[in-house]
Amino acid sequence: MSTKVAFIGLGIMGYPMAENLLKAGYDVTAYNRSPEKAQALASSGGRAAASVAEAVREAEVIITMVPDSPDVEEVLTGEDGILGNAAQGALWVDTSTIRPDVTMSLAEQAREQGLRPVDAPVSGGEQGAIDAALSIMVGGSEEDFEAARPVLEAVGRTIVHVGPSGSGQTVKAANQLIVAGNIGMLAEALVFLEAHHVDTDAALKVLGGGLAGSKVLDQKGQKMLDRSFDPGFRLELHHKDMGIVTAAAREAGVVAPLAALVAQLVGSTVRQGNGHLDHSGLFTIVEQLSGRSGDSSDTTGGGR
């Protein structure tokens, strides 16, 4: 019989991850606050649960993919949550991106209740989730990592154990800092190039072939040129993540001035009502600061 997996949270990343688990042969029962998503997964061969408790009751592996630390805490410790309803020995894999200190606290609570906690935040955006090509940084015991590996291999391509509980979230915070910094610099470079009336398509091609090349440039450069910011990863979530970065840096006594600057830029973009855009939408604030926003105020797509 196939391994029974409960999947909690079917958002932009969660839904394709759950679909890939089905394709890999896992028996998936899903719960989502908006039940339509769970019903859609059921039509693809999974099962829809009406509550977290129903989803996890018979699960051997429980995967959570929800927006923020309070959401994970509620799913785990709430009256209808994982701790009160999951079977002893079940593996709990949290693929959300949350605070490392919260992860360590929740992992300890899970262990006390007989669960095996693994923090496994993911990177790669919506396309990476669709392609089962995510990069997954895993915290937890070596034994629990090995137990989780087959499930993670159904949704990711680069899967690395980085240390004890909380380590996965710490590495993910560093990942989000690097991504946001790259997006910010790419945005500045493109505004700079447009101001000099350079052929920006040609510029992206040659930049991508040199030391400036990156996955951020490959995936986000054209979106910026097209002013097409349909979300693969929402700015409001990256805003949350940059809060994690700056708080964790302060806690460790680490000076991170570039993190603070890009966090302010992301925060400003969100406060202007653009939190629903893809994080490449950081381009909009860079344009505004340069006085070059022009007709790009319609940030839902299109272009010039």
- For 5-56, what is each residue's pLDDT tens digit? 999 999 999 999 999 999 999 999 999 999 999 999 999 999 999 999 999 9
Q: Is the pLDDT of residue 299 over 90?
A: no
Q: Is the pLDDT of residue 112 over 50?
A: yes
- The pLDDT value recorded for residue 300 is 39
Q: Is the pLDDT of residue 278 over 50?
A: yes
Mean pLDDT of 172-198: 98
DSSP letters of 83-105? TTTSPTT-EEEE-S---HHHHHH
- The pLDDT value recorded for residue 301 is 38
> Is 241 exposed, middle or buried (CB count within 10 Å of its CB: 0-12, 13-18, 19+)?
buried
Mean pLDDT of 248-271: 96
Q: Is the pLDDT of residue 148 over 70?
A: yes
* Mean pLDDT, all residues of the chain: 95
The helix (H) or strand (E) run that includes residue 183 is helix 167-195
Mean pLDDT of 266-275: 97
Mean pLDDT of 76-98: 97
Q: How confident is the model at residue 1 (pLDDT cuts 50, 70, 90)?
A: low
Please give the torsion angle defined by the CA atoms of residues 151, 157, 163 and 165, in that order, rounded to the nearest 10 degrees.
-40
- The pLDDT value recorded for residue 304 is 30
- The pLDDT value recorded for residue 294 is 58
> Is 256 exposed, middle or buried (CB count within 10 Å of its CB: 0-12, 13-18, 19+)?
middle
Q: How confident is the model at residue 293 (pLDDT cuts 50, 70, 90)?
A: confident
* Percent of the chain topping pLDDT 70: 96
- The pLDDT value recorded for residue 303 is 35
**206: how many CB neighbours lie within 10 A of its CB?**
11
Mean pLDDT of 255-275: 97
Dihedral sign computed on CA atoms, order 218, 220, 222, 225: negative
Dihedral sign computed on CA atoms, order 4, 5, 10, 13: negative
Q: Any idea what the Cα angle at residue 23 is, between residues 18 and 97, rounded to 5°?
A: 25
**103: how many CB neighbours lie within 10 A of its CB?**
27
**Residues whose CB is less than 8 angstroms from the CB of residue 44 and which lie 6 or more positions away in sequence, other chains included:** 19, 22
- The pLDDT value recorded for residue 39 is 97
- The pLDDT value recorded for residue 225 is 97
Mean pLDDT of 128-133: 97
Q: Which active-site residues does the annotation give?
A: 172
Under 8 Å between Cβ of 119 and 161: no
DSSP helix/strand/coil, 34? coil
